[in-house]
């Protein structure tokens, strides 16, 4: 199984940068995903890492180190609409039992203040 | 992109009744769909993996007879909450895997909010 840890809450001001860390312990690994979830809505996909390194996508970047079991999501030029919960998820390898399922961290609530 | 719909978006029912939630992939065929449950301010808890043409794989602690899953076609999976009780009130979210992509992310439906009175 997976054990996924991320901070509960982070606060930052508009225009700033925030880095959300995620550590995981895994028995199988087939990618790390970040999702954004606004209150009362379903999560939406932000980024995916399967190899070590940095993936950049506009204002959002995600980093992975498989040897350290560590990832971070970097949000730059924060906007008020970025206030949301950010979920780190690890995908299992495909097995007869697992079907490549996703395990989620508890989520990090990011609060952007004016 | 990929679109997944869920119906109904909200349902209120009396204790003891059954509720069926539908999850459809609208523009792709999904051999695998996942069903999650989410409590307020908590993360997603995987309930089961739904596989087209075979029995669902349930996570530990999830009652198979209470949460019936049927993946009847490559675009439809249903979750039926049988004999619902107030403790079943929750936000239920389905997701579908779009095959053939380099990054096989899951695409989420909009969720169904269930309230059992």
Residue A89 sits at φ, ψ, to 5 deg, of: -140, 140
Is any Cβ of chain A less than 8 angstroms from the Cβ of B5?
Answer: no
Q: What is the pLDDT along chain A (114 residues), one digit of tens a residue?
A: 568 999 999 999 999 999 999 999 977 888 999 999 998 898 999 999 999 999 998 999 999 999 999 999 999 999 999 999 999 999 887 766 666 788 899 999 999 999
Contact B107, A45 (CB under 8 A): yes
Chain-chain contact of B46 with A102 (C-beta, under 8 angstroms): yes
- The full 3-state SS of chain B, as one line of letters, equals CCCEEEECCEEEECCCCCEEEEEEECCCCCCEEEEEEECCCCCEEEEEEEECCCCCEECCCCCCCCEEEEEEECCEEEEEECCCCHHHCEEEEEEEECCCCCCCCEEECCCEEEEEC
Return the pLDDT at B103.
Answer: 63
Phi-psi region of A46 (alpha: psi -120 to 50; beta: other; left: phi over 0): alpha
For A21, other C-beta atoms within 10 Å of its C-beta total 15
Low-confidence residues of chain B, pLDDT below 50?
A: none
- Check residue B9 and give its pLDDT: 95
CB A3 within 8 A of CB A25: yes
Cα–Cα distance for residue pair A72/A13, rounded to 1 Å: 19
User: In the prediction, which pLDDT does B1 show?
Assistant: 63
B35 vs A: CB within 8 A: no
Nearest chain B Cα to A38, which residue? Answer: B41
Helices and strands in chain B: count of H runs, count of E runs: 0, 11
Which pLDDT value is given to residue A77?
97
Record: contact B57-A41, CB cut-off 8 A: no
Q: What is the pLDDT of residue B20?
A: 97
State residue A51's pLDDT score.
93
Tell me the chain A residues in contact with residue B108 when contact means C-beta distances shorter than 8 Å. 42-44
Tokens of A64: 């992975």
Residue B6 CB neighbour total at 10 angstroms: 20
pLDDT computed for residue A32 by the predictor: 94
Identify the contact set of chain A against chain B, taking CB-CB distances under 8 A: 31, 33, 41-45, 48, 50, 87, 91, 97, 99-107, 109
Helix (H) or strand (E) holding B63: none
Longest dimension (CA), chain B: 44
Specify the pLDDT at position A53: 96
């Amino acid at each position: 199984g997976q054990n996924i840890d991320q901070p509960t809450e982070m606060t930052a001001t508009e225009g700033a940068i925030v880095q959300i860390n995620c550590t995981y312990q895994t028995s199988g690994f087939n990618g790390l995903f970040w999702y954004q979830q606004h209150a009362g809505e379903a999560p939406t996909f932000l980024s995916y890492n399967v190899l070590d390194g940095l993936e950049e996508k506009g204002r959002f970047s995600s980093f992975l180190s498989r040897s350290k079991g560590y990832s971070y999501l970097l949000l730059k030029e924060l906007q008020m609409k970025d206030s949301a919960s950010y979920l780190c998820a690890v995908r299992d390898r495909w097995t007869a039992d697992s079907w490549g399922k996703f395990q989620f961290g508890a989520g990090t609530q990011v609060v952007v203040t004016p | 992109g990929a679109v997944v719909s869920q119906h109904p978006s909200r349902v209120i029912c009396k204790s003891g009744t059954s509720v069926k939630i539908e999850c459809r992939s609208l523009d792709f065929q999904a051999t695998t769909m996942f069903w999650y449950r989410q409590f307020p301010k908590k993360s997603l808890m995987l309930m089961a993996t739904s596989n087209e043409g075979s029995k669902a794989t349930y996570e530990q602690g999830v009652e198979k007879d209470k949460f019936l899953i049927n993946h009847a076609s490559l675009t439809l999976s249903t979750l039926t909450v049988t004999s619902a009780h107030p403790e079943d009130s929750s936000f239920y979210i389905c997701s579908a895997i779009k095959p053939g992509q380099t990054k096989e992310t899951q695409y989420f439906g909009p969720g169904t909010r269930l309230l059992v009175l």
